[in-house]
Chain A
Amino acid sequence: MFRFLAIAVFVVCTLAGCSHNYHWSKSHPLYKKAPYGKLAVAGTNEAFVLTRSAWFAKKLGWNPDSIQLKATAFCEQVFLDEMRRAYPHFVSIPEQNFNHFPEESQKLDSRIFMKGRLPEQGVTVKDSAGEIQPYILIIHEFIVGTDLKRETYFDYALIHNESTDKKTSTHISAIVSYTLWDNEKQRPLFSAVDEVQRPITKPTPEDLEALVRSAVKQIRINLYGGVS
């Protein structure tokens, strides 16, 4: 009996000690109000990445040579459309107004670092009409694949672990890292890494579309939830 208890205590301690409690988001102390009605998005032109493209090509019946281009353009378009539906005053920041900023790392947690472009301190980003949008949602990375786990992409201790090749996949998934940028005061209001999973029945372009839509929904929920 005592031996069993000792083993149980040991197992519990080991599990509790080993499992790292990740913080997947970080709010600025002055993030008081989530954007409502008005939002700009930047970085979508280079954020989308499709993994397991051969698998997707086969399942969706798209040409394997152009699947990467086609799928990322498709996802970007769905993403922008979904955003446009959610925010009446929606603006997409043109590439040339944003992509010259260098990539920097942002720390969310002792082990989670995300990489992405952030505008310089003291420099406001203008949209194509030359206007200054108060909030810019910067999408750093939008990874689409199957059964993705965000810790394998963002925990630097796990980054070099090779994942086993799986024959069967249960979910199509998306991992999004993004920053809500205060364009007037040039500070990151809210940064997060989100993971969205969607069970596979028979993969279709509609599934992919639904995945991106649920990612947008998740981002919007988190933008509200992150207000400090």
Chain B
Amino acid sequence: MNRGLSILLFALSLIIFSGSAFAQKEYFNSHPALWKDADILIWSLDKEPAIDPKEFCLSLKRNNSGIGEPKCRLQGEWMRDTVAMRYASWLNANMDPALKAEYLRARHPAMQAKFQALEDQIVLFIAKNGSVVNVAWFDETASEPKSAGTIPLSPDKVSMGDEIANMFFDGTPKRRLSKEERKKMMTEPDEYFQEVPVFKMWAGLGMGYSQAQIPLTPDNWYSSHVNSQVRNYRITKDSVSLWNFIDDSDPYFTFYVGATWYDFIGLELSYHYAKHHMKTDPKDTVYQELDHWDFHQHEIGLSAMLSRNYKPLSWMDITPFLFVGFQYSFFVESIELNDDVKTPSKAYKARIKFEDAYKGALVGFGSHFIFLKHYGLGLRTGISSRGRNTYVDPSPDAAAESTIIGGSTIDWFIGAGLEYHLNLF
């Protein structure tokens, strides 16, 4: 007997529980913007609305702690308006689980104008319809409900408010914009369709690596230069490339500033520094007097670039570019004898000299990755060359002249830089 009663009670509680859980019914919900400290206007057909605005505000705060201090009041203006009340009674008669929002659209222009004038207020349509209460959410973005559903009618206004709050107000509230911000938002173009900036500048600091061998080309093109060593301060097999004398694979550091017009055509000025060791032959005893023998490479280049801007995400720009330019290279010698050497050898005095300056070209491609419009990461790779500085008319005895040391020095480089971008116009 006792057991039967408990089973009965259990079954009864199950029915009640499931009844209350499924009684409220959401027809559709497009998750409209929920504002923090929202202004909520209760629009009702009934003399005695199914919920109490003050209690509903408390329900909202209980249900969603992030909602701040919402203000709820009756939408008196619409409740005294013929067009609005006609639409309200129409909506109350037409709300049905089978109907999507488009079938509930207000057709009257005056009603549509009322919705558009809502600004950031939320209108909650709440109307009794037999044993249920129809609930629909309107905002300024459409003349149809953004969300709709029903809850069973009960005389307890507090629990009704709780149910409505639970059904529609679960989202993360957003901060409401001030009047000025709203005005600005209205005139602003969509972030994905913004006008292309007229003039964009950047400055970057980077480092990279360069070597004589261009990737995907055979080793034997370079082996004679790369493996060559300098004997007796000046003797090499070949002097056409500087890589016959100095190490080719070294890190470099760079600083650059650039600008583009219309994200399309640009100019970039760069400074490039690297340090290269002289490739002295260790078997040659003449170098025993040396402490070190290095060359500091300084390069100043100017390149033209073509680029195109892509915006895969609102906070990210990707600007791939091609560049071609020219550069001046200066190799500054840094040589020092050991402390105990009083007078250097004859060979030291007659050691190899590089040209004062080399002129060359650089060509390559890369991409800027710009985050939040300003903070960029630049990646680039390319080929640069160094040749003779000035063009000299070939003299009749040109064949007898010695070739210029390093007259054809080519390397491949790859680097990355941190950049700051600025839209000036």
Contacts and interface: CB of A to CB of B under 8 A. Distances in A.
Interface of A: 28-30, 104, 118, 120-123, 184-187
Nearest to B99: A29
A120 B98 contact: no
Main secondary structure of the interface of A (DSSP, over half): loop
15 contacts: A30-B99, A104-B107, A118-B107, A120-B86, A120-B108, A121-B87, A121-B106, A121-B107, A121-B108, A122-B85, A122-B88, A184-B93, A185-B93, A186-B90, A187-B103
Contact of A123 (B86, B88, B98, B103): B86
A78 B85 CA distance: 40
Contacts, number: 35
Interface string B81-101: 000011111110110101100
Nearest to A102: B109
A30 B86 contact: no
A118 B107 CA distance: 10
A186 B91 CA distance: 10
Contacts of B99: 29-30
Given A121-B91, A185-B94, A186-B90, 11 more contacts: A30-B99, A104-B107, A120-B107, A121-B86, A122-B85, A122-B87, A122-B89, A122-B90, A123-B86, A185-B90, A186-B93
Contacts of A118: 107
A29 B95 CA distance: 12
B98 A30 contact: yes
Interface string B212-234: 00000000000000000000000
Contacts of B93: 184-186
A13 B125 CA distance: 51
Contacts of A185: 90, 93-94
B107 A29 contact: no
Interface residues on B, range: 10 to 19
B98 A29 contact: yes
A116 B60 CA distance: 44
Select the residue from A30, A121, A185, A187 with max chain B CB neighbours within 10 A: A121
A122 B86 contact: yes
A28 B98 CA distance: 10
B130 to A, nearest CB: 15
A121 to B, nearest CB: 4
> What 10 pairs between A and B have smallest CB-CB spacing?
A122-B86, A121-B90, A122-B90, A29-B98, A122-B89, A185-B93, A121-B87, A186-B90, A185-B94, A121-B107
B264 to A, nearest CB: 36
B96 A30 contact: yes
A123 B85 CA distance: 11
A132 to B, nearest CB: 13
Nearest to B85: A122
Nearest to A121: B90
A185 to B, nearest CB: 5
Interface string B227-271: 000000000000000000000000000000000000000000000
A121 B112 CA distance: 12
Contacts of B90: 121-122, 185-186
Contacts of A122: 85-90
A28 B96 CA distance: 12
Contacts of A186: 90, 93-94
A187 B94 CA distance: 8
Select the residue from A118, A120, A122, A186 with max chain B CB neighbours within 10 A: A122
